[in-house]
A and B are shown apart, each in its own frame.
Chain A
Amino acid sequence: QKEVEQNSGPLSVPEGAIASLNCTYSDRGSQSFFWYRQYSGKSPELIMSIYSNGDKEDGRFTAQLNKASQYVSLLIRDSQPSDSATYLCAVSSGYSTLTFGKGTMLLVSP
Chain B
Amino acid sequence: GAVVSQHPSRVICKSGTSVKIECRSLDFQATTMFWYRQFPKQSLMLMATSNEGSKATYEQGVEKDKFLINHASLTLSTLTVTSAHPEDSSFYICSARDSLGRAGGGELFFGEGSRLTVL
Give the interface of A toward B (CB within 8 A): 31-32, 34, 36, 41-46, 49, 51, 88, 90, 92, 94-95, 97-98, 100-103
Interface size class of B (residues with CB under 8 A): 20 to 34
Within the complex, the shortest CB–CB distance from A105 to chain B, in Å, comes to 9
Q: B interface, by DSSP: helix, strand, loop or mixed?
A: loop
In the docked arrangement, what's the CA distance between A100 and B108, Å? 11
Judging by beta carbons under 8 Å apart, are A51 and B109 in contact? no
- Starting from the known contacts A34-B108, A41-B115, A49-B104, 18 additional A-B residue pairs (CB-CB under 8 Å) come to A31-B105, A32-B106, A41-B91, A42-B112, A43-B6, A46-B110, A49-B105, A88-B44, A92-B106, A94-B106, A95-B97, A95-B106, A97-B34, A97-B46, A97-B49, A101-B43, A102-B43, A103-B43
In the docked arrangement, what's the CA distance between A45 and B115, Å? 17
Judging by beta carbons under 8 Å apart, are B44 and A100 in contact? yes
Contact among B97, B105, B111 with A43 in the assembled complex (CB-CB below 8 Å): B111
Within the complex, the shortest CB–CB distance from B51 to chain A, in Å, comes to 12
Give the interface of B toward A (CB within 8 A): 1, 6, 34, 42-44, 46, 49, 91, 93, 97, 104-113, 115
A34 — which chain B residues lie within 8 A by C-beta? Answer: 107-108
Judging by beta carbons under 8 Å apart, are B110 and A43 in contact? yes
In the docked arrangement, what's the CA distance between A90 and B1, Å? 17
Judging by beta carbons under 8 Å apart, are B109 and A46 in contact? yes
Which chain A residue has the least Cβ–Cβ distance from B44?
Answer: A100
**What are 20 inter-chain pairs, A to B, with CB distance below 8 A?**
A32-B105, A41-B91, A41-B115, A42-B112, A42-B113, A43-B6, A44-B93, A45-B110, A46-B1, A46-B107, A46-B110, A49-B107, A51-B105, A88-B43, A95-B97, A97-B46, A97-B49, A101-B43, A102-B42, A103-B43
